[in-house]
Chain A
């Protein structure tokens, strides 16, 4: 039976730092080590099994075969579709996929920056040539 039972608490809080985090400015809280950020792909060990692609709930991953016998694959990652569930990380038996805890502030005004292509440079080059070839053929 008390009236105004939070009196002590409210006067204490006047002298405390506000709990609000002024997000883009000021001190930032450290990012947890396990934070699930952007997916990273390491093409060296990939066998192209596409298990990551099959179980992705958001179809955010595309594994594109450049040269199957030589195990050359690239990955197109659609960050705007990704739900950051880490199922691909669990599925990959060769530890090709990991999630970065540094890259997670991905706001942008257009959709283009959200599509990231991972792979060996020459493979990406090859892929880009192939797609540009395809698009010019389509245009006539």
Chain B
């Protein structure tokens, strides 16, 4: 066929597709095996969590927001707690802050190891997938024995934490980390040396530093492209100022660099956890938190495993949050998939997609992107990237 009616061969991926563990809809136009354009649609798991938070009191919303993401649950509950505590003028005791930080880093280990497995599975390397998930059980067990649950730890309360780090927990953490570090060194060797795996990761989904900046990428994705962007260093919270981490960056910007960055970050995490466990501040676990939070608004940010996590919290002085706005890191990385997919083989698409460690249900809050020219009222300069959000 010729002329404007050239038939396009579109491969729909999702909302139900074995490569996606959560629903989202991608359309890839392919020419043979090469992708020529891509688009994405979300919204299949919109749960109305932001509105839900407005109907609950401050403590109840903590547990609701912990369930925004199944992997970085502690990150969500911590970023919310930090924001609400700032609004209320309450500071968690240092020991609670240290415990929160330990849990954040343990969660990073579990999230990144999960990602190594998922990405290996997308590349058809199931052996690495099985092994990394088997070893991930170690950190899950640590978290379970520490907090009593494997996924939604619920370790935070407003004003502190629930669970103390006793000698038994410290021992299990330290011995677990020893094993994990050994295994991580091994996985590092595999992802850097295995020729068949390198064939699927090297040069795939490459994003240059400039592109990464322009697309507003975040987290390990942008660090693998050579941008040093990490909220733990740029805007330290909890005890990151006293127990700092080093930002890991790589320059290649491809999938292999993302593997290397993520695994090396875990070495930083284990070092950080060890330092915190050894120098755990003494003191109380939690301070009293008022039922009503004085009126005001705040922005709370932390570095979740997938990148910077952003919360806007507003109080009107009542028992419930007036407004909670959540922006999860995956949302900022999706553009890199859509742009990066063009020109690649269809076989690489699952790899590129999983390369950003996407979390779809995190994303699904109403986002309206107003494009230039469509909306007369919005000024052209800001309309392009303006996101209006309501749940």
Contacts and interface: CB of A to CB of B under 8 A. Distances in A.
Nearest to B197: A5
A85 B154 contact: yes
Contacts of B61: 57
B193 A1 contact: yes
Contact of A19 (B137, B154, B189): B137
A34 B148 contact: yes
B57 A2 contact: no
Contact of B195 (A3, A35, A99): A3
A56 interface: yes
Given A34-B145, A84-B149, A2 B64 contact: no
B128 interface: yes
A20 B193 CA distance: 28
B282 interface: no
A3 B127 contact: no
A34 B194 contact: no
Contacts of B196: 3-4
Contacts of A36: 148-149, 154
Contact of A34 (B163, B195, B286): B163
Nearest to A99: B148
Contacts of B149: 35-36, 84
B63 A85 contact: yes
Given A2-B193, A2-B194, A5-B193, A86 B162 contact: yes
A33 B164 CA distance: 13
Nearest to B286: A90
Interface residues of B, number: 35
B157 interface: yes
Contact of B145 (A33, A56, A58, A99): A33
Most-contacted residue by chain B among A10, A34, A91 (CB, 10 A): A34
Interface string B126-138: 0110110010010
Nearest to B135: A19
B144 A32 contact: yes
A5 B63 contact: no
Given A1-B195, A6-B127, A34-B147, A57 B189 contact: no
User: Which range contains the number of A residues in contact with the other chain?
Assistant: 20 to 34
Contacts of A5: 189-190, 193-195
B193 A10 contact: no
Interface string A61-96: 000000000000000000000011111011100000
B286 to A, nearest CB: 8
B158 to A, nearest CB: 10
Given A19-B137, A35-B148, A55-B57, A6 B162 contact: no
Contacts of B154: 36, 83-87
B127 A10 contact: yes
A101 B149 CA distance: 11
A85 B161 CA distance: 12
Nearest to B144: A32
B59 interface: yes
B274 interface: no
Nearest to B194: A5
B24 to A, nearest CB: 26
B128 A6 contact: yes
B60 interface: yes
Contacts of A128: none
Nearest to B285: A90
B106 to A, nearest CB: 15
A56 B154 CA distance: 13
Contact of A83 (B59, B63, B145, B162): B63
Interface in B40-57: 56-57
B146 interface: yes
A116 interface: no
A89 B60 CA distance: 14
A9 B152 contact: no
Contacts of B145: 32-34
Contacts of A85: 63, 66, 152, 154
Contacts of A87: 59-60, 62-63, 154, 157
27 contacts: A2-B193, A3-B196, A5-B190, A6-B127, A6-B128, A6-B190, A6-B194, A9-B127, A9-B131, A10-B127, A13-B131, A32-B141, A34-B146, A35-B148, A36-B148, A56-B60, A57-B61, A83-B63, A83-B152, A83-B154, A84-B149, A85-B154, A87-B60, A87-B62, A90-B157, A90-B162, A101-B148
Interface of A: 1-6, 9-10, 13, 19, 32-36, 54-58, 83-87, 89-91, 99, 101
Interface of B: 56-57, 59-64, 66, 127-128, 130-131, 134, 137, 141, 144-149, 152, 154, 157, 162-163, 186, 189-190, 193-196, 286
Nearest 6 CB-CB pairings of A with B:
A57-B63, A34-B148, A36-B148, A85-B154, A32-B145, A57-B60
